[in-house]
Amino acid sequence: MQDYKQQFFNLALRKGNLRFGEFTLKSGRLSPYFFNAGGFDDGASLGELAACYAGAILNSGVGFDMLFGPAYKGIPLAAATAVALAEKDANVAYAYNRKEAKDHGEGGVIVGAPLRGRVLIIDDVVSAGTSARESIELIRNAGAEVAGIAIALDRQERGEGERSATQELTARHGFPCIAIANLEDLIRFLGQFRDGGDIILGNHGGQEKDPLAAMDLEAIERYRERYGA
């Protein structure tokens, strides 16, 4: 497993953004794990998360000229990832959108660099794909090309059909979806602790209790077998 995947899972556990138990999802499914991408809420964890995005993006080999962060969660993610990429000698421009057009000053809905060339969307997750569709429309209307979308965790669950949300997005629009990690990676990562591995808790923003106390790897594997794409 790539270092950035290990780093991502350790970070999510430290911050309490990856939890185990019983969680009812919007789909109505009862999930044995829950990931909250909005919980990377301090400078250290956001910087570390951005380094994971940068690692996944560069490892994917996808060519791109700039980043785009959909309002609202994508805005800090795109900005932080641009910084992380620059630290890896891959300096690129970034932009984001407003929910409502501004009619004074620079005006418009796009803030930052003009949308041009191959644009990589940075977001937290892909669920129904609404945010992605809006971003695709904005980018293409500006005369630019969507290079792909990068997200934090791909749950690899079926939607209404046999495909997952990320698979549907790729099939519909023809560009790749890059995830820092997916459900298969999570199961592989958790298998280390079932086999006696140690978690790296760190000391910034972490939870005091054992984040793996409620983890049931067999339940997660059964969930994958039932709902996996």
Mention the CATH class of domain 3-227: alpha beta
Q: Cis ω on the peptide bond leading into residue 223 (within 30° of 0)? A: no
Contact 24, 30 (CB under 8 A): yes
The residues annotated as belonging to the active site are 102, 104
Question: What does the domain layout of the chain look like in residue ranges?
Answer: 3-227
C-alpha span between 146 and 136 (Å, rounded)? 7
Contact 155, 18 (CB under 8 A): no
Q: How many CB atoms lie within 10 A of CB 59?
A: 14
Digits of tens for pLDDT over the chain (229 positions)?
Answer: 899 999 999 999 999 999 999 999 988 999 999 999 889 999 999 999 999 999 999 999 999 999 999 999 999 999 999 999 999 999 999 999 987 765 554 557 899 999 999 999 999 988 765 678 899 999 999 999 999 999 999 999 998 789 998 999 999 999 999 999 999 999 999 998 766 555 554 444 445 568 888 999 999 999 999 999 9
SS3 content of the chain, % helix, strand, coil (to 5): 40, 25, 35
Number of residues in the chain? 229
Q: Which position has the token pair 């969660």?
A: 73
Residues 6+ apart with CB under 8 A from 39: 15, 16, 17
Pull the structure tokens for residue 170.
């790729």
